[in-house]
Structure 1
């Protein structure tokens, strides 16, 4: 997929007015579809999580095999990211929705661990922050590529520090990771939003569909991880 190949975009051929308005209108519609897929993924995750959290027997099973489910999530995300160019848009969609459902199994542990009022409060903060940063990424004229690379390096640092802290059990490092994690995913929301706009200009309709799913996955992961790090900072346990 090459975002620069826009000359063959079939949706443009039916118009003969201002190209800037056409592009802006089409990109807005495309982004709406991406957000639609993202919110569907969040809805599936939440529904599965609430269902499992309300069933004690299933919740115990999820807790006992939580590492297995975590590995399964990593495999599915890696499979979609690395193989999306070779799979059909329907397969990519199925993998994304399957990942959202699998993620709901582990989210059930969070729903059981934290007070509902706290979960709703943190979700509100996450949604508001996401909306603001998505608007920044959508409307800014500045190229965020360098900024995105910086956020990615920060993400790598957070992952390494998190692995180290599994063994170190440092409370100070825990809080540092949480604050840095919030900053990283707040930045990634803006960067990923701008990056997804380029997918709307891909020449092939099939590539645009796959780009929408890949973009939805990126924003879904940004939202989910921001929620988790904010929950670590502001959540109240049962």
Structure 2
């Protein structure tokens, strides 16, 4: 009597099947063939906990780095006198973002890259906050958290599919990028800056709704890193636009 060997797991999206060998006890063939929405409740809850635990760690790291830079005059002066480091952080943010997406399913390098990306982003956020009054920074932070939590809860319980807004949100984002590029060369009035910031805040609020529902409906069980990145970028951009709105109001 002869037996035919059956593969224990399929190759994960063209990567080395041994690239992910630890981190959870969910079989790889289950991860790559089923999205989160098709899983049982305990599995869905496990994935959501992973995503929001990583997101919380990113936000806390960003707040700590920003607080250190914002609260220490010596560090601020050193940062502004060594502007090259800010350029490095920008280049590093893009580089680590791309690398994190490429290695999103390779544990633990994906967590290392995610941490490096977060530190680069945190440095730039800290410098931006150091140019604004502390009271405004705190207000912007609190408003961002309230908006994010409210939109997240709404997206979780809503039966409406906000993913259908993806094309409109993308169009609005490109419009925002183009407008921001023009503002670099053609300074505009405070009112125009206020409109620009308001549109930006609305667009990234919409992205929070879209990306939250994508996590619930389309992500695979091993997509916690891309899902976390999306939400983190949504929160950071929303915070920066709210910060601009409050600062613009304060200056006027």
Bin for the TM-score computed over the shorter chain: 0.7 to 0.9
**1:214 Cα offset (Å):** 1.1
| Residue 26 of structure 1 pairs with residue 43 of structure 2 | yes
The two structures, once aligned, show a CA RMSD in angstroms of 2.7
The 1:23/1:129 distance shift into structure 2, 3 A limit, reads same
The 1:132/1:54 distance shift into structure 2, 3 A limit, reads closer
1:158–1:177 CA contact under 8 A, matched in 2: yes
C-alpha separation between the residues in 1 aligned to 2:151 and 2:167?
17
C-alpha separation between the residues in 2 aligned to 1:50 and 1:193?
28
| Residue 59 of structure 1 pairs with residue 79 of structure 2 | no
Q: Residue 9 of structure 1 corresponds to which residue in structure 2?
A: 30
**1:22 Cα offset (Å):** 6.7
1:133–1:186 CA contact under 8 A, matched in 2: yes
Which one has the bigger helix percentage? 1
Q: Which has the higher contact order (CA 8 A, sep 6+)?
A: 1
Q: TM-score, normalised by structure 1?
A: 0.79
1:34–1:215 CA contact under 8 A, matched in 2: yes
2:160 alignment partner, SS class = coil
Q: Residue 16 of structure 1 corresponds to which residue in structure 2?
A: none
Pairs aligned (count) = 216
| Residue 221 of structure 1 pairs with residue 233 of structure 2 | yes
**1:163 Cα offset (Å):** 1.2
**1:151 Cα offset (Å):** 1.1
**1:74 Cα offset (Å):** 2.0
| Residue 71 of structure 1 pairs with residue 91 of structure 2 | yes
1:53–1:108 CA contact under 8 A, matched in 2: yes
Q: Residue 187 of structure 1 corresponds to which residue in structure 2?
A: 206
Aligned counterpart in structure 2 of residue 148 of structure 1, from 154, 159, 166: 166
C-alpha separation between the residues in 2 aligned to 1:109 and 1:96?
20
**1:21 Cα offset (Å):** 11
List per-residue Cα deviations over 1:82-124 (Å, max 9, x = no partner): x145x50322211111111111211222332222222222111
Aligned counterpart in structure 2 of residue 94 of structure 1, from 106, 112, 127: 112
Q: Residue 157 of structure 1 corresponds to which residue in structure 2?
A: 175
- What runs of 5+ residues in structure 2 fail to find an aligned partner? 1-11, 14-26, 32-36
1:131 alignment partner, SS class = helix
